[in-house]
Structure 1
Amino acid sequence: MAIRRRHVPVNQEDEGFFASMTDMMVGMLFLFILMLMFFALKFNEAAVQITKTAKTLLSAEDTRKEMLEKLQKSLKDRGISVEIDIENGILRLPENILFDRNRADLTGKGRDAIVVLGRSLNAVLPCFATIPGEDRPASCPDTPHTIEAVFVEGHTDGDGDDALNWNLSVQRGLQTYHSMIDGNPKLVLLRNTKAQAVLSVSGYGKQRPVRPNDSADNKRQNRRIDLRFIMTTPKASQLEQVEHQIQEGHQ
């Protein structure tokens, strides 16, 4: 007795093959969508962290701006006119209220002005730094920002020998620093978040003029003392974490 074979129509075999291929492609598409969502989420986390870091930096600059304006007003109310450079965080003291030309010793008027400056700093800086064993003043603004350092910088004009100008700028910075802390000894106790001293001194000679040395008035403006305020920036570990997140987002 002959056995009759059952033949499957060709079109049914094709339909089964295409159905299997469709299932596989749908599965691959689903995996691709999951991976895309994962990388999008990681990239978004990095973007959020970058935004937070940027806001921290920008708001720290706003805090420094308010601090400089407060110091400028405080000094003006006491008869001392100073300039402020908001962008670079500088309070500028011209030579004519501090020193005689080519001299490092403060004049009597200059010494009085620096004592007043020290009092203003003594009233403001403890809100943005710490003094070991003392609480933060209750009158301080509500801010998370702190000061990393305040540099007392000496500068000269472009005249004369380089070595002489270097020495003169350093000596003027030191004289200003000592007069500030002699009248306000607590300033030397100020510490940043690393428990390091906040106040320091530097001299730049004629290397950082604010005006071209082509006129008597410009030279006078270049002979100056700058107080440069440096705010504490995000920790290196925070920046490394952001960089790592960015790298993961691009992998």
Structure 2
Amino acid sequence: MGRKRGRTVDVEEGESYYVSMTDMMVGVIFIFIIMLSYFAFEFRSTTAKLTAAKHPETAALLQTAANLQPKTADIEIDYKAQVVCLPETALSETGAGAAGERRCFGFSPPKAGAPTASVADAQKLLMQSLDADLRDMKVALASDPSGGSLAFRADQLFSPGTADLSADGRRIAGDVAQVLMKRLPCLGYGVAPGAGCEDEGPKLSVVNVVAQTNLDAFSAEGQQAASLALRRAAAFHQALTTAQPALGVLRNAPPAQPGSQPLLRVASVGQSQEGASKVGDDQTVSIQFQMGS
């Protein structure tokens, strides 16, 4: 009796309806990235609002006001009683509310003459801003600007032994003048400041272009070094005001006020010591900022 051989039937598997672990993880990571981006955007937006608020009460309200919308409305203010009244219809998104009805709120006006920042804070902010601007322009400084000055090596600016600016020195002077013109009008008088300046706050009393040198005051070379330092300070000052003429117009007080002086001035400092280096060696030229009240 013969045996029948059975045939093996190949069954083709259909498409699986289950998601692989890899696909699932990719999906979860993608959703996480979207959520992270959203929260980062919201954080930046909220931080910008709170930074722009000048009063603690405003900052506290902005923490809960996430969807402020501009709206035009007629308001009434009693400055003596410190009360402001708004139409009730302006407080409804749909304009609902009885016509002619008002809602009134108490407020505290800003104190007249109160500075927005202390002298130390204003000085620190100025130096941080100048440092950041010069870094962006690839201008190297010889020392930390947190001390209140922008310092440059003399050999970085001038031809050896002279008060003549080198090509690199002229470029640096132009870049520095551009940065100063961006910041100083807000802190001086005589030139209309740009947008973003505080109406009140500390002002600069003087911005000195200072050349510093070591010298032997009793030698001919030492006296030449002192003279060279002063001429270098004057040359750098002239280069700044040539690149940005408005820097020469800035004053430390309103022009009509008695005692008003140019904001940007020149000084020279020399320390006598034995065995000082040769004429022009190890000199620095710095711009020193002194904030007034």
TM range (shorter): 0.5 to 0.7
Corresponding position of 1:43: none
1:139 equivalent in alignment to 2:196: yes
Query: Is the partner of 1:168 in helix, strand or coil?
Result: helix
Extract unaligned runs of 5+ from structure 1. Answer: 1-55, 234-251
Question: Any stretches of 5+ residues in structure 2 without a counterpart?
Answer: 1-114
- Equivalent in 202, 205, 225 of residue 270 of structure 2: 205
Residue by residue over 1:178-210, the C-alpha shift from the partner in whole angstroms, topping out at 9 and shown as x without a partner, is 000001000011011253210110112345x9x
Query: Which one scores higher on RCO, CA 8 angstroms, separation ≥ 6?
Result: 1
Q: Which residue matches 1:79?
A: 138
The Cα shift of 1:138 comes to: 2.0
Corresponding residue for residue 196 of structure 1: 261
Q: Is the 8 A contact 1:151 1:201 kept in 2?
A: yes
Q: 1:181 aligns with which of 241, 266, 285?
A: 241
Identity of aligned residues (%): 24
Backbone CA RMSD of aligned residues: 3.0
Q: Distance in 2 between matches of 1:172 and 1:139?
A: 34
Q: Give the residue type in structure 2 aligned to 1:70.
A: S
Q: Which has the higher strand share?
A: 2
Structure 2 CA distance for partners of 1:73 and 1:96, relative to 1, 3 Å: farther
* 4+ residue runs over 3 A deviation: 157-160, 212-216
The separation in 2 between residues aligned to 1:157 and 1:99, in whole angstroms, is 17
Q: Does 1:120 align with 2:179?
A: yes
SS of the residue 2:168 aligns to: helix
How many aligned positions are there? 169
- Report the Cα offset of residue 213 of structure 1: 8.4
CA contact under 8 A between 1:153 and 1:226: conserved in structure 2? Answer: yes
Q: Deviations over 1:20-54 (max 9, x none)?
A: xxxxxxxxxxxxxxxxxxxxxxxxxxxxxxxxxxx
Q: Find the residue that maps to 2:290 and give its secondary structure.
A: strand
Cα offset for 1:140? 2.0
- Asked whether the equivalents of residues 156 and 168 of structure 1 are also in contact (C-alpha less than 8 Å), the reply is no
Task: Indicate which of 192, 204, 208 corresponds to 1:151.
Answer: 208
- 8 Å Cα contact 1:148/1:231 also seen in 2: yes
Q: Secondary structure at the residue paired with 1:103?
A: coil
**Residues 213, 226 of structure 1: alpha-carbon distance in 2 compared, 3 angstrom cutoff:** farther
Q: Greater helix percent: which structure?
A: 1
Instruction: Quote how far apart the aligned CAs of 1:80 are.
Output: 0.5
Deviation at 1:96, TM superposition (A): 3.1
Distance 2:145 2:291 in 1: 15
Q: Distance in 1 between matches of 2:242 and 2:277?
A: 36
1-structure distance, mates of 2:172, 2:195: 27
Within 5 Å, which residues of 2 pair with 1:1-251? 59-82=118-141, 83-87=143-147, 89-131=148-190, 134=192, 136-141=193-198, 143-158=200-215, 161-193=221-253, 194=257, 195-206=260-271, 222-233=282-293
